[in-house]
């Protein structure tokens, strides 16, 4: 009796090279080799798999031990000295049994424990595709053995059948596999793989009658492929897109801070045009408020201008002029008050002089010209307010009595044109049209990121742009930008754009769930229309416990593919180990 210090032992195989040695595999993934003369402890022990090991088999010629585990791998170990891993085969399901093929050093057969019903024969030198496959069983195979002929093998299955397989009836997946492959990376790089035809036409000094012909097994092993990668030159636009998407701030802070942050990000990447757009948005939609200065109403500013000009020109008192000289000029005061005025407007004011200016120290000459020499001048139209400066209005100012007192300057040569200064006559700058044109230009150049991020950052202020950028165009920009983010797998930033979207078609993308269609248990056709009725075989999805049609939630075992109502299956598996259909599969509910 041999006592192992590991968990339950799953398989034991005697060595064909020594009648006193055998190997055992355990539930915890350990492999032990024993000497029948020393039952107290194993000769060798090592961990082979991360999960339970279900089977093992010695190689008939070499000191190789093959192990099969629930981790969907077959491993070949050389235990002639210190255990070393020689080959690894990855399968699609947990491996239940393995068996080396006689007279073929590198061939090993395997059967799966669940899901896969086929019998696979592998070449350990090409572990990515089976060398041969047998598919007669309707359920998973439970055992495999080879006869004296390496082209014949026997297998048993849970479908209560025993098959003898002949290699001439096998399926060779390598002959049906596509030898070409193509892949394109998000950066635009292209990878292409294709098969290389092995030529056997090399000159040889050995006569043809003594040359050994290449069999199918050798051709399978010698299969080669070549991989060609075509790389594009460094694309700065892709790096810009990814970096800006990760570093941009679109919400959570005042608009001025958002624009300043995003402008600095774009400038650090050398995108000066994009940086200028963010600075322009900051100037357009934020008002500076420094030192407690406030912007006076436009009507008040215009009224002050007219009053100051009238008082200065008419010379109401010498005190005012003297005060102006002392530095208390109302004009200076006006400049100080209107320094922070953010709105720009333009007025064309003609420079009209009613009579020549009198300058001291010059000889007075008669510069009078006949009136007939000039055509009468039409009244000037006020471009801002729509008013006109008539000769009577000008005379009312120029006919003011001269104040030629000594020490006072003479203002008789100046005149004031009376223009309407109401806000209705001011021509304002439409900044929305300018911003819309800038965003549209960036979008047409392929930079939809800037257009979308600016619109998102504006928040409710973006409604001012609807007259220039309609909702359809904005939605097209958003869809294009979300597609770019998805291509580069920027899922978090894509979700942020969807969450901040103001268009219902975009904001509802996060509310769409993923649909998983169930399949018919008989023909495996997806049940697209009705989840409980197959339109092909006209069978209903029946619960394995109550044998009634399942109209609601359906749960099934991935091993035997049987299932039913979620409550019924949960109660059954809690009290029982095996499937309620009697197939013998140990189902688990998690």
What's the pLDDT score for residue 372? Answer: 56
Q: Are 126 and 169 in contact (CB under 8 A)?
A: no
Which band of pLDDT confidence, cut at 50, 70 and 90, is reported for residue 316? very low
- What's the rounded Cα separation, in Å, for the pair 272 and 243? 15
What's the pLDDT score for residue 474? Answer: 92
List Cα–Cα distances, 284 to 49, 119, 277, in angstroms.
66, 73, 10
Q: Are 34 and 21 in contact (CB under 8 A)?
A: yes
293 vs 19 pLDDT, higher one: 19
369 vs 395 pLDDT, higher one: 369
Q: Would you say residue 409 has pLDDT above 70?
A: no
pLDDT in tens, 128-179: 889 999 988 888 899 999 888 888 999 999 889 999 999 888 888 888 888 8
What's the pLDDT score for residue 261? Answer: 93
What's the pLDDT score for residue 287? Answer: 60
- Sheet-wide strand order for 44-47: 9-14, 21-26, 30-35, 44-47
What's the pLDDT score for residue 481? Answer: 93
Domain with CATH 2.130.10.10 in the chain: 9-174
Of the segments 196-200, 310-314, 430-434, 489-493, which one has the largest average pLDDT value? 489-493
Q: Would you say residue 471 has pLDDT above 60?
A: yes
Q: Would you say residue 441 has pLDDT above 50?
A: yes
Q: Would you say residue 360 has pLDDT above 60?
A: no
Burial of 401 (0-12, 13-18, 19+ CB in 10 A): exposed
User: 202-206, 308-312, 476-480, 529-533 — which is least confidently predicted?
Assistant: 308-312
What's the pLDDT score for residue 420? Answer: 43
Domain with CATH 3.30.40 in the chain: 516-589
| Residue 286, token pair as written in the block | 């934020």
* H-state helical runs in 374-501: 391-398, 431-444, 448-458, 471-487, 491-500
- 182: part of which helix (H) or strand (E)? strand 181-184
Q: What are phi and psi of 250, to 5 degrees?
A: -115, -15
pLDDT in tens, 540-571: 778 889 988 887 788 888 777 788 888 898 88
DSSP state for residue 465 in the 8-state scheme:
G
Q: Which residues face 163 on adjacent strands?
A: 155
- 516-589 to CATH, choices 3.40.30, 3.40.50, 3.30.40, 1.10.10: 3.30.40
Q: Would you say residue 364 has pLDDT above 80?
A: no
Which band of pLDDT confidence, cut at 50, 70 and 90, is reported for residue 366? low
Average pLDDT, the chain: 75
pLDDT in tens, 193-231: 888 876 654 555 555 554 455 566 666 666 778 889 988
* Mean local confidence (pLDDT), 38-47: 86
What's the pLDDT score for residue 504? Answer: 87
Which band of pLDDT confidence, cut at 50, 70 and 90, is reported for residue 427? low
* Mean local confidence (pLDDT), 106-118: 89
Q: Would you say residue 119 has pLDDT above 60?
A: yes
What's the pLDDT score for residue 482? Answer: 92
What 428-434 contacts at long range (C-beta under 8 Å, 24+ apart), as own/partner pairs, is 428/343, 428/345, 429/343, 429/344, 429/345, 431/284, 432/464, 432/465, 432/467, 432/468, 433/468
* The CATH homologous superfamily of the domain defined by 9-174: YVTN repeat-like/Quinoprotein amine dehydrogenase (2.130.10.10)
Which band of pLDDT confidence, cut at 50, 70 and 90, is reported for residue 276? very high
What's the pLDDT score for residue 514? Answer: 61
Which band of pLDDT confidence, cut at 50, 70 and 90, is reported for residue 589? confident
| HEC secondary structure over 404-415 | CCCCCCCCCCCC
DSSP state for residue 376 in the 8-state scheme:
P
Q: Would you say residue 265 has pLDDT above 90?
A: yes
């Amino acid at each position: 009796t041999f006592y192992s210090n590991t968990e339950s032992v799953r398989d034991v195989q005697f060595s064909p090279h020594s009648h006193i040695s055998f190997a055992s595999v355990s539930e915890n993934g350990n492999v032990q080799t024993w000497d029948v003369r020393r039952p107290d402890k194993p000769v060798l022990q090592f961990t082979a798999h991360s999960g339970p090991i279900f089977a093992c088999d010695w190689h008939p010629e070499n000191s190789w031990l093959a192990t099969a585990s629930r981790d969907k791998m077959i491993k070949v170990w050389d235990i002639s000295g210190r255990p070393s891993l020689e080959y690894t085969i990855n399968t699609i399901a947990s491996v239940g049994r393995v068996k080396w093929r006689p007279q073929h050093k590198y061939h090993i057969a395997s059967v799966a424990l669940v899901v896969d019903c086929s019998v696979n024969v592998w070449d350990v030198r090409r572990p990515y595709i089976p060398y041969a496959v047998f598919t007669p069983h309707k359920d998973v195979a439970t055992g495999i053995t080879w006869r004296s002929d390496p082209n014949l093998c026997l297998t048993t299955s849970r479908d209560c059948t025993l098959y003898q397989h002949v290699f001439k009836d096998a399926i060779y997946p390598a002959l049906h596999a596509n030898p070409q492959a193509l892949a394109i990376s998000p950066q635009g790089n292209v990878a292409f793989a294709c098969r290389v035809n092995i030529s056997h036409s090399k000159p040889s000094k050995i006569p043809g009658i003594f040359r050994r012909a290449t069999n199918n097994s050798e051709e399978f092993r010698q299969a080669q492929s070549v991989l060609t990668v075509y790389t594009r030159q460094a694309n700065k636009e892709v790096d810009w897109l990814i970096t800006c998407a990760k570093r941009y701030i679109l919400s959570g802070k005042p608009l001025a801070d958002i624009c300043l942050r995003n402008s600095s990000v774009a400038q650090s990447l050398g995108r000066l045009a994009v940086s200028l757009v963010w600075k322009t948005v900051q100037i357009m939609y934020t008002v500076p408020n420094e030192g407690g200065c406030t912007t006076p109403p436009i009507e008040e500013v215009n009224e002050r201008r007219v009053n100051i000009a009238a008082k200065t020109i008419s010379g109401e008192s010498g005190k005012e002029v003297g005060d102006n000289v002392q530095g208390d000029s109302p004009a200076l005061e006006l400049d100080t008050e209107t320094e922070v005025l953010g709105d720009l407007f333009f007025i064309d004011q003609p420079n009209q002089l009613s009579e020549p200016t009198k300058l001291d120290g010059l000889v007075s000459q008669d510069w009078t010209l006949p009136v007939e020499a000039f055509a009468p001048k039409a009244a000037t139209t006020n471009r801002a307010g729509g008013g006109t400066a008539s000769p009577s209005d000008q005379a009312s100012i120029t006919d003011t009595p001269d104040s030629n007192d000594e020490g006072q300057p003479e203002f008789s040569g100046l005149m004031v044109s009376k223009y309407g200064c109401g806000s209705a006559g001011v021509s304002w700058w439409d900044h929305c049209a300018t911003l819309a044109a800038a965003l549209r230009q960036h979008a047409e150049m392929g930079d939809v990121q800037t257009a979308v991020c600016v619109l998102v950052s504006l928040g409710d202020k973006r409604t001012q742009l609807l007259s220039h950028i309609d909702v359809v165009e904005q939605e097209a920009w958003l869809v294009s930008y979300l597609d770019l983010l998805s291509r580069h797998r920027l899922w978090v930033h894509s979700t942020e754009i969807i969450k901040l979207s103001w268009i219902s078609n975009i904001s509802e993308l996060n509310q769409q769930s993923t649909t998983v269609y169930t399949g018919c248990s008989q023909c495996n056709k997806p049940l697209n229309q009705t989840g409980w009725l197959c339109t092909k075989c006209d069978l209903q999805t029946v619960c394995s416990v109550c044998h009634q049609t399942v109209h609601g939630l359906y749960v099934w075992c991935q091993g035997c593919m049987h299932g039913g109502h979620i409550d019924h299956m949960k109660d059954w598996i809690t009290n029982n180990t095996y499937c309620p259909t009697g197939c013998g599969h140990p189902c688990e509910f998690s």
